[in-house]
Amino acid sequence: MSEKNSNKVGKVYLVGAGPGDPGLITVRGKSLLERAEVVVYDYLASPKLLKHVPKEAELIYAGKKGGVKHTHTQEEINQMLVDWAASGKTVIRLKGGDPFIFGRGGEEVETLAESGVPFEVVPGVTSATAAATYAGIPITHREHTASVAFLTGHEDPTKPGSNIDWAKLATGAGTLVVYMGIKNLPIIVKNLVDNGRDPKTPVAVVRWASTPEQRSVVGTLETIADIVRENEIKPPALIIVGEVVTLRDKIDWFEKRPLFGKRIVVTRTREQASELMAGLDENGANCLEYATIKIEPVDSYDELDEELERLHEYHWILFTSLHGVKYFFDRLHKKGLDARSLNGPSVAAVGRATADLLLTYGIRADLLPAVFTGEGLAESLLDQGVEGRNILIPRAEKAREILPETLRGAGAQVTVTPVYKNVAPQGKQQELRDDLASGKVNMVTFTSSSTVRNFLAMLGAESSDDVKLLMKDVVIAAIGPITAKTVTDNGLQVDIQPENYTIPDLVQSIVSYYTK
């Protein structure tokens, strides 16, 4: 029986998105996003969280950036939540930080309550505690302070009728954290000093806390307004006032990570970018993901299907990429077969990751070359003797011919079967060119020759001079010698190349480059 939508009761979940790092949402918040039908999200909620939302869900940006014209008024947002719920939807209202701390979350649920709409509220990590933590400032500390107050700096503190009793607050709490206070910073510090707080009290201002864009400056009540102006620190930022700020000298950890503040372009395929990005992220880098390759199935699997019928005739099957493994086994499974079809031939993998993936399909590679390249694999096979051997290579539609050619040259019978194809995705050209031209990018990483070629194709460069100009101040990291050669063949220089051609080694070399 089909359910009538009008009978379904909608519900609104006010969910704290956390301060910026998408990893700082609660488990409850994430699981709600995973079953959202409508998401109404703010400027301060990390857009990266939207990847948890089902594809069919409606995404509504509610805006609200201080000083900029609001996309929707608060009343419109309140009404929108009521209307969507009334139409039977599961609505997630995703708000930066904690919904009930200076986020007008209270007003939103008041409207829901008045309208009889069912709702729940999921707290979040508020930006005050996150900014303190990520700036290396324990917000309370036994030796420095036993109390903390959160206040808004949005109100003009000179106006009569301000909700903030500065006379009491100035010395009333050990640590003060001020939200939305950048514009009024000079008046805020004056008010604190005028009301008895020591002008030498340390102050930190932290912008975009917990994200790769985080920036912090430190001063005292006397100096901080000038420091913020000189350093052009803009909202969103928090002001932390109190003796605890001095602890930052000792325990600043986030901004001290080796790659902090470095913008690194990752050019792997979307599917494979994660390991490299995770490694770079872990070291504090700001990864800009440009998936230069999109992996797609080949148009026809007739060729592969024929080979799958006669796998027993092969002496060797060579897997030269992760995708080769994946698409080969996907098709095998689709045909109702499994790893047992490979009980005849020996299996070789080009590198460790490919061998590891094979293992997850139930196959332990019989051969792993000393050097993880097509040439390395060819050499290891030649050592075993390939004359008269039947060899199958399931791989990309377009790939280097060195492996099959070398093997044929040594008398092997080689069948190359395309199981997937690489295509360069379109559409990000201007964004990439702008990022490079503005000097925003510190490094570009390449993990295969096709990432180099597709990267250049994506740049849409007119000439090699155009490329050189765009890449003038950009450091280039290449995973191995073949990739590096493709880079130099295109008139660019390789600055970083690990000794071993693996992602962890690449990450390590990048870290060493910036720490040496």
Residues that bind ligand SAH (CB under 6 A): 19-20, 44, 66, 95-98, 101-103, 126-127, 131, 179-180, 206-210, 235-238
Based on CB atoms, which residue is closest to ligand SAH, 261 or 425?
261
For residue 442, count other CB atoms closer than 10 A to its CB: 18
Based on CB atoms, which residue is closest to ligand SAH, 103 or 202?
103
Based on CB atoms, which residue is closest to ligand SAH, 131 or 378?
131
Q: What is the per-residue burial (b if ≥16 Cβ within 10 Å, else e) of 214-230?
A: bbbbbbbbebbbebbee
Minimum CB–partner distance for residue 17 and ligand SAH (Å): 9
Minimum CB–partner distance for residue 5 and ligand SAH (Å): 32
Minimum CB–partner distance for residue 212 and ligand SAH (Å): 11
11 catalytic per annotation:
no
Residue 199 and residue 426: Cα distance in Å, rounded? 56
Chain residue at closest Cβ approach to ligand SAH = 97
Find the catalytic residue in 42, 98, 281, 435.
Answer: 42
Q: Hey, which residues does 13 pair with through a beta bridge?
A: 92, 120
Based on CB atoms, which residue is closest to ligand SAH, 127 or 321?
127
Find the catalytic residue in 64, 89, 326, 421.
Answer: 64
Planar angle of CA 117, 119, 121, nearest 5 degrees: 155
Residue 232 and residue 342: Cα distance in Å, rounded? 63
Minimum CB–partner distance for residue 55 and ligand SAH (Å): 27
Length of the chain counted residue by residue = 516
Looking at 87-184, list the stretches that DSSP marks H as alpha helix, in order from N- to C-terminal side: 105-114, 127-134, 166-172
312 burial level (CB within 10 Å; 0-12, 13-18, 19+): exposed
Minimum CB–partner distance for residue 301 and ligand SAH (Å): 48
Residue 124 and residue 25: Cα distance in Å, rounded? 6
| Inter-helix orientation angle 273-282/503-515, to 10° | 30
Based on CB atoms, which residue is closest to ligand SAH, 126 or 272?
126
> DSSP states of 395-425 as a string?
EESS--SHHHHHHHHTT-EEEEEEEEEEEPP
Minimum CB–partner distance for residue 449 and ligand SAH (Å): 39
For residue 496, count other CB atoms closer than 10 A to its CB: 18
180 catalytic per annotation:
yes
Phi, psi dihedral angles at 514 (to 5 degrees)? -90, -15
Minimum CB–partner distance for residue 146 and ligand SAH (Å): 23
Based on CB atoms, which residue is closest to ligand SAH, 129 or 445?
129
Find the catalytic residue in 80, 180, 277, 471.
Answer: 180
Q: Hey, which residues does 121 pair with through a beta bridge?
A: 14
Residue 95 and residue 42: Cα distance in Å, rounded? 6
Residue 19: asked if its preceding bond is cis (omega within 30°), the reply is: no
Residue 206 and residue 188: Cα distance in Å, rounded? 16
Minimum CB–partner distance for residue 125 and ligand SAH (Å): 8
Based on CB atoms, which residue is closest to ligand SAH, 63 or 235?
235
H helix or E strand, kind and range, residue 305: helix 302-309
Minimum CB–partner distance for residue 235 and ligand SAH (Å): 5
> Which residues have C-beta within 8 Å of that of residue 296, sequence separation ≥ 6?
420, 421, 423
> Which residues have C-beta within 8 Å of that of residue 29, sequence separation ≥ 6?
15, 16, 17, 18, 94, 122, 124
As given in the structure block, the two tokens for residue 356 are 């590891």
Based on CB atoms, which residue is closest to ligand SAH, 128 or 441?
128
Based on CB atoms, which residue is closest to ligand SAH, 166 or 179?
179
1 catalytic per annotation:
no
Residue 202 and residue 254: Cα distance in Å, rounded? 20
Q: Helix, strand, or coil here: 209?
A: coil
> Which residues have C-beta within 8 Å of that of residue 326, sequence separation ≥ 6?
357, 420
Q: Which residues participate in catalysis according to the annotation?
A: 42, 64, 180
